[in-house]
Amino acid sequence: MYHRASSRRGRYDGVNWLLRMLESLGAIAVYLFAVIRSLVTGPRYLGETVRVGDILVRRCLLPVGLAVAPVGAVISLQGVHIFRSFGAEELLSSLLATAVFREYSPALASVMVAAQAGSSIAARIGTMKVRGQIDALAVMSIDPIRYVVLPGLIACAIVTPLLNVLTTILGLVSGWFFAVVLTGCDHGSFMANLYSQVSMVDLWVGMGKCLVFGTAVGLIAGYQGLQTTGGATGVGKAANDTVTFTIVLILVGDYLVSMLLLALGL
Amino acid sequence: MRFDRFVIHAVRAQFRGIPPMDEFVRHALDAGVGSIALLTLLTIFAGMNLSVQAYGTFARFGGQEMLGLFCGVGGIRELYPVMAAVVCGARIGATLAASLANMQISEQVEALEVMGIDPMRRLVAPRLWAVTLMLPLLCAYADAVGICASYFAAVHQMGINEGVFITQVQDIVTLPDLLAGVVKGVIFGWLVALVACYHGYRAAKRDGAEGVGVATNRAIVHAAVLCIVLNMFLSALMYA
Amino acid sequence: MREGFYYMPQTVPPPAVTFENVSKSFGKQCVLDGVSLVVPKGAIMVMLGPSGTGKSVLLRCLVGLIKPDAGNIFVCGVNLTGLDENKSADRTKLFDLRRKFGMLFQDGALFDDMTVGDNVAFPMRQHTKLREPEIRQQVAENLERVGLPGVEKKMVSELSGGMRKRAAFARAIALRPEIVLCDEPSSGLDPVMSATLDELILDLHHKLGMTFIVISHDTAEARKIATHIGLLYQGKLQCYGPADHILNSQHGHIKQFFERKTDGPIKVL
């Protein structure tokens, strides 16, 4: 289903490259179409989706938590210096909250989900592909996309925003800890100013970003996994490429969203 | 093999004489040159994003003019070194782990042992050296690209006065800051390589392709988390 | 004398390999249980047995990759098991002993980041002080001997399964070792390719006088090349001796294995 025509090394390497690009684009288009079709029509393997989601949450909780808490801490740490020199210490908490809600929480939650879930899903599907299990499913009349890719996709899409909530809280808590407990900012003014610059828009934007990025992780991991060739080395490459592409997507997308919001005056 | 014993063997292998040069050069080029394109792309976007976000945030306080300070401090001290370490470290770590795991499951490591070659010296030590030396260079590169990207976004998209921006950056960023970024790069590089090689080396033959996947996955996650958490401690140490 | 074991005369040159009551367990699973055998110099010993019964472990104990729990292993008269990896004097002895071996792994275990030529040259470059032109010449010679002339520049991934095994063979014999170990050389190969590999073993044995220890579950191979045959089942060496005695033996395990029958003392788990 996802076989690629072999490309011979000839004198026309430029044309070869172009052909391979077109092949890839075609394969991606076919894949996206298949995914959308599986989303819309049945049968759906809800049991599998729940199982994958459960594993995902358990595996991602620790890395995501460990990744975000330091960011809040570092923002406080560096921010305190700047703000103290301006005598505007109480602004630190609102900077922290805005940065965490709008930017670092969704970005980091997505990046860590990409690193953990993306690479493990791609590796799992890739292993199934090189061991012939994907073909085995097809022969048993089970659509691999429905059974293997879609549960991962839905699980990622749902779990990433949920993790975002956790990371926001963690980021704020660790920022508070560094600011109030360690560097001696005033607790009262910290809490008072915390939500002064944060609005519901920030929250929705953050969750929306996570939903989109999570879906992207699931999609890319599924595609890379199904396209794995070349035995065990291919599996490592699939996982690696998934993480690379997703991180690029997240950072570029993040930037575009920021520009958009700025243009819209939010 | 437990992690502490692996570290002892690896460090012993790494510092006992010069590692095989051909392996070292190959891995260094792989890690350095292979990451440059990705790092450039990501740092440009991260730098521009930093300016945009900071502008949006500071505009709420009326403090747009502080943009240069924030981009200088936030960027050079924190964002660019950590981003280089996390993104490149995760990628490089994945490649190291995958290649070592693959060699384990196809008995190539055993073949080396049978031929009387110490796999730690031939395989692990060059990888450690390559990444330890390459990552700080990548961090420095990220600093340079990032600050240019921030400048571009601040001046051409947000309309900040370029003279003010540059002066602020020059005021707030000192040589120790730049050196701190490089030192972070060395520490991150060494630890990422160590963890990645550990996961790759641990792959067992009977796991086959799955072993490679697991090793890669673990290397990526541990590298990323390690860099971020360690960065917090290092920053606290250097700046508090 | 136990049934299935044939008296081994005291050989005048010391035997290539001697196992004395070697045992090894992994956790609760006993993989080798009191294995004792002698491989004379210049023999081709084929160790048969059902899959997963510890034949590979036997081989790995021989090269010192695995340390047995009990018993002694002698290689050309030197006690391998007595060597302690942590003592540097012993490490040199282990190193010297390993140089007596060449090993052919099940999937070849060629280094896939090097060309075939570099793979075959690897042991020479690492352990000898030969100059490049000499090394290249020897590589070409070895590859021709195994029937792969002119593949030096190819990468490992470009070779087929049979070619890979032969290239690995060329690497195994690069330093003209005294003892060549083969871990299931014909697994995954078609009959013609297996026959080619068998001919290769016989050829090298005849021309270079090497001792061969072959792990296999291919009875045709055993019939063709073996001078000595052993059968390992459930960790125990069920029988061992010169090939013509074993092949004509009425021993239950041997009969079942060679006649490919399901009923007999060997049970499938």
In tens, the pLDDT along C187-230 reads: 888 889 889 899 999 998 998 889 999 999 888 899 999 999 99
Taking the CA of residue A169 and the nearest CA in chain B, the distance in Å comes to: 17
Determine which of A118-122, B115-119, B223-227, C90-94 has the lowest per-residue pLDDT on average.
Answer: C90-94
pLDDT at site A160: 93
CA quadruple C215, C217, C222, C228: dihedral positive or negative?
Answer: positive
Identify the band that residue A92 occupies on the pLDDT scale cut at 50, 70 and 90.
confident
Mean local confidence (pLDDT), C20-40: 89
Mean local confidence (pLDDT), C139-163: 90
Residue A265, pLDDT > 60, answer yes
pLDDT at site A151: 92
Q: Is C161 on the interface with B (CB under 8 A)?
A: no
Compute the distance between CA of residue A210 and CA of residue A117 in angstroms, rounded to an integer: 14
Identify the band that residue A241 occupies on the pLDDT scale cut at 50, 70 and 90.
very high
pLDDT at site A5: 42
pLDDT per residue as tens digits for the range B54-93: 887 777 767 777 788 888 877 888 889 988 999 999 999 9
User: Would you give the end-to-end CA distance of chain B in angstroms?
Assistant: 38
pLDDT per residue as tens digits for the range A54-85: 999 999 999 888 888 888 888 888 778 777 77
Q: Is C188 on the interface with B (CB under 8 A)?
A: no
Mean local confidence (pLDDT), C127-152: 91
pLDDT at site B240: 65
Q: Residue A240, class by beta-carbon neighbours within 10 Å (0-12 exposed, 13-18 middle, 19+ buried)?
A: buried
pLDDT at site B44: 92
The phi and psi torsions of C79 (rounded to 5 degrees) equal -80, 110
pLDDT at site C171: 93
Mean local confidence (pLDDT), A234-242: 93
Inter-residue contact C182 to C218 (CB < 8 Å): no
Element (H, E) at C161: helix C161-172
Q: Give ipTM to 2 decimals.
A: 0.85
> Do residue B213 and residue A124 have CB atoms under 8 angstroms apart?
yes
Strand, helix or coil at C36? strand
Element (H, E) at C89: helix C88-98
R_g of chain C, CA atoms, integer Å? 19
Q: Is B8 on the interface with C (CB under 8 A)?
A: no
The phi and psi torsions of C248 (rounded to 5 degrees) equal -95, 5
Residues of chain B found within 8 Å of residue A235, distances taken between Cβ atoms: 98, 209-210, 212-213, 216
CA quadruple B13, B15, B17, B19: dihedral positive or negative?
Answer: positive
Look up tokens 């240069």; give the residue: B68
In sequence order, the β-bridge partners of residue C233 are C236
> Do residue B221 and residue A119 have CB atoms under 8 angstroms apart?
yes
Give rounded-to-5 percent helix, strand, coil for chain A.
Answer: 85, 0, 15
Residues of chain B found within 8 Å of residue A262, distances taken between Cβ atoms: 52, 55-56
Inter-residue contact C175 to B116 (CB < 8 Å): no
Which residues of chain B register pLDDT less than 50?
none
- How many contacts (CB atoms, under 8 Å) link B and C? 41
Residues of chain B found within 8 Å of residue C122, distances taken between Cβ atoms: 115
Arithmetic mean of pLDDT over chain A: 86
CA quadruple A229, A232, A233, A237: dihedral positive or negative?
Answer: positive
In the stretch 151-170 of chain B, residues with CB closer than 8 A to chain A read 157
Residues of chain B found within 8 Å of residue C119, distances taken between Cβ atoms: none
> Do residue C105 and residue B110 have CB atoms under 8 angstroms apart?
yes
In CATH terms, the fold of domain C1-94+179-185+213-269 is Rossmann fold (3.40.50)
pLDDT per residue as tens digits for the range A193-230: 777 777 888 888 889 999 999 999 999 999 999 999 88
Q: Residue A248, class by beta-carbon neighbours within 10 Å (0-12 exposed, 13-18 middle, 19+ buried)?
A: middle
Residue type, C268: V
User: In degrees, to the nearest 5, what angle opens at C-alpha C46 toward C-alphas C221 and C63?
Assistant: 130
Residue C5, pLDDT > 80, answer no
In the stretch 18-37 of chain B, residues with CB closer than 8 A to chain C read 26
Q: Is B117 on the interface with C (CB under 8 A)?
A: yes
Tell me which of C56, C104, C112, C173 to substitute to probe the interface with B (most B C-beta atoms closer than 10 Å).
Answer: C112
Tell me which of B145, B232, B238 to substitute to probe the interface with A (most A C-beta atoms closer than 10 Å).
Answer: B232
pLDDT per residue as tens digits for the range A123-158: 999 999 998 899 898 888 888 999 999 999 999 999
DSSP for chain B reads --HHHHHHHHHHHHHSSPPPHHHHHHHHHHHHHHHHHHHHHHHHHHHHHHHHHHHHHHHHHT-GGGHHHHIIIIIIIIIHHHHIIIIIHHHHHHHHHHHHHHHHHTTHHHHHHHTT--HIIIIIHHHHHHHHHHHHHHHHHHHHHHHHHHHHIIIIIS---HHHHHHHHHHH--HHHHHHHHHHHHHHHHHHHHHHHHHHHT--GGGTHHHHHHHHHHHHHHHHHHHHHHHHHHHHHHH-
CA quadruple B152, B158, B162, B164: dihedral positive or negative?
Answer: negative
Any alpha helices (H) in A87-199, and if so which ranges?
91-98, 105-113, 119-130, 133-139, 144, 150-176, 187-194
Arithmetic mean of pLDDT over chain C: 86
Which residue ranges make up each domain of chain B?
3-239
pLDDT at site C269: 67
> Do residue B107 and residue C105 have CB atoms under 8 angstroms apart?
yes
Which residue ranges make up each domain of chain A?
11-41, 45-263
Of residues B100, B203, B103, B209, the one with CA closest to residue C112 = B103
> Do residue C95 and residue B117 have CB atoms under 8 angstroms apart?
no
Helices A200-226 and A231-263 pack at an angle, to 10 degrees, of 160
Residue A3, pLDDT > 70, answer no
> Do residue B212 and residue A235 have CB atoms under 8 angstroms apart?
yes
Nearest to B221 among A63, A182, A247 (CB): A63
